[in-house]
Amino acid sequence: METVPYLIVGAGITGLSLAYALQSAGKEFRLLEAGPGVGGNIQTETEAGFTYDLGPNTLLVRDPRVAALLEELALPEQLANPLARRRFVVNRRHELVALGPKTLLGGKLLSARARLRLLTEPFRPRATGDESIAAFVRRRLGPEVLDWMVDPFVSGVYAGDPERLSLAASLPRLAQMEKEHGSLLGAALRGRRRKGSKSRLLSFAGGMQSLPRGITARLGDKILCNSPVTAIHPTGMTWQVESATGDWETERLILCLPTQEIARLLPPQAEALRRQLAAIEYPELATVALGFGREQVQHPLDGFGVLIPRQLGIATLGALFSSTLFPDRAPTDHVLLTAFIGGAQGKLPSAKTEDIVARVVEDLRSLLDIRGEPRFQRVRWWPRAIPQYQLGHLARVEAIDAALQSWPGLSLLGNWRGGVALGDCIGNGLEFGRSL
C-alpha cells in the first residue's frame, strides 16, 4: 500500500485543475482515473477532415484564475469567429432571428404586448426565497420572453427545464443583478458604463481536448489512468483506497466525480450523504456532429448557432455552427454542425444512432435549408449529461457539506456544485487546490 498526502479520484477538468494547483504549490499527490484518458466529458475527435467536440465545444474565459492558467499552459488558442456574438433563435414562423436589442424592439420574436411589458420591468417586485428560472422571468420580463428567449437558452445550454431549475443556483448573476439593482435593465445599463476586462470565447488547436492534455503534460507520472477505484475506507485519521492498480492510504481524499459514482464509493454508514447526492438529476443527451458540403446548406451559418424553443415541438434543442466558430474544423467547401437532442424536457427518439441522426437532420432541414443527407455523422450518447441545479440545490449542497463533517479528510467536487460551465469547473478546482 502506497501513502500520499493528497489523493484525487477523477481526471475530469475539475480534478485536473485541482491537481495542477497542488503541483504549483509543491505538494505531493496522485490522481487516479478510471478510464484510459483524461478530460471527462471533454472529448475531441478528428476524422475525414472534420474535428469535432463531443462534449464542451468552447471555453468562455472571464475568470482571472482561468486566464492565468491558460497563460501558464501556453496552449495554441483559437479565438472564436467574431460572428459568434450573433446567436439565433427560431420564432413562431420557423424563421431564424438574431438575438440582441433589436429583437426586443422588433416584432419578429415578441408581440407588441410583450415588448410593452418589458418597459415595466424596473417596477417589478424583488423575489423572496428560492425561485425557479421560469418564475423569475415571468415575473420580471413576461411569459413570452420565457417561452421564446430564456427557455431555449436553458434547454440548449443546460439541457434543463426552467420550471424546475433554481435561479440562484443556475444563473446566480441574474439573481445578484436583481438583488443589487432591483432591475435587470438598470443593471445592464450600469454594466455598459463600467469599464473592466473583457471575456473571450475560445477553443484550442486540435479542439477542446487539448486543454486537459496540456494540463496532463505538466502533471506527468502523477496521473494514473486505467485505475478505477473499487472501494474507500475511513481508518481513523486517514482513508484507505482500493483501486485496480493498487491500494493507497491518504490523509486527504478528494472525489472529483459525478454524484452517482461518489454514492457508489461511499461507506455504508454515509446514508445522509448518499441521499442528498441521489437527489441531483442528470438527464440523458446526445451530441450529434454533422458534416455537409457547403452547397448543401443554404443558410449562411453566420453566427454561433441556433436555439429552438420547446414551444415549437421540435425534438432537437439546437445546433452550433462549428465550422463558422473555428473554420479549420471542416474540410474545404464543407461545413460542420454540432447538434444536441434529449435533455430534461425531451427524450431521444431511440437508442439507435441512425434514428438520432435522422431526427436531427429532419429537424434542421427546413430551418437551415439543408439539401440531401450528411456526408459525415457521429453521435455521442451521454446517459447522464449535465447535472440539474433544481429548486433547493443550494440548500442541498449545504446539507452535503454538513454531512461531510462526519467524514474528516473526505472532500467532494464536480460540476454538480459551483457551476456546470467549463470555466466554473476550472476555477473551482484551482481554488480548492490552493486552499489545501
Span 53-70, pLDDT tens digits = 999 999 999 999 999 999
The residues with which 81 forms a beta bridge, in sequence order, are none
Q: What is the pLDDT of residues 155-176, one digit of tens each?
A: 998 999 999 999 999 999 999 9
- The contacts found for 225-230 with CB under 8 angstroms, 24 or more apart, are 225/11, 225/33, 225/35, 225/36, 225/37, 225/38, 226/33, 226/34, 226/35, 226/36, 227/32, 227/33, 227/34, 228/32, 228/34, 229/9, 229/32, 229/34, 229/265
At residue 276, the 3 state secondary structure works out as: helix
Using one digit for the tens of pLDDT, what is the confidence trace for 103-155? 777 889 999 999 999 989 999 988 778 999 999 999 999 999 999 999 999 99
**Residue 85 pLDDT:** 93
Q: Average pLDDT, stretch 193-217?
A: 87
What is the model's pLDDT at position 22? 98
pLDDT band at residue 425 using 50, 70 and 90 as cut-offs:
very high
Average pLDDT (190-206) is 76
pLDDT at 197 over 70: no
Q: How far is CA 8 from the centre of its chain?
A: 22
195, pLDDT greater than 70: no
Torsion (CA) 415, 417, 419, 420 in degrees, nearest 10:
30
CB contact set of 356 (below 8 Å; sequence gap of 6+):
286, 288, 341, 348, 349, 350, 379, 381
Average pLDDT of 314-332? Answer: 97
pLDDT band for position 222 (cuts 50, 70, 90): very high
Residues 68-88: tens digit of each pLDDT: 999 999 999 999 999 999 999
Question: Could you give the residue range(s) of every CATH 3.50.50.60 domain in the chain?
Answer: 2-58+66-75+206-281+388-435, 77-204+283-385
- Residue-level pLDDT at 55: 94
Average pLDDT of 383-410?
97
105 is written with which cell numbers? 424592439
Q: Give pLDDT tens digits for 271-315.
A: 999 999 999 999 999 999 999 999 999 999 999 999 999 999 999
> 93 CB contacts (<8 Å, ≥6 apart)?
none
Quick check: 269 and 259 in contact, CB under 8 A? no
Confidence check: pLDDT of 422 > 60: yes
Fold classification of 77-204+283-385 (topology level): FAD/NAD(P)-binding domain (3.50.50)
Q: What is the per-residue pLDDT for 373?
A: 97
Write the burial class of residue 102 (CB in 10 Å: 0-12 exposed, 13-18 middle, 19+ buried): exposed
The answer to whether residue 382 scores a pLDDT higher than 60 is yes
What proportion of the chain, given as a percentage, has pLDDT over 90?
A: 89
pLDDT, residue 51, reads 98
At 361 the pLDDT is: 98
CATH of 2-58+66-75+206-281+388-435, one of 3.90.79.10, 3.40.50.800, 3.50.50.60, 3.30.470.10: 3.50.50.60
pLDDT confidence band for 196 (50 / 70 / 90): low
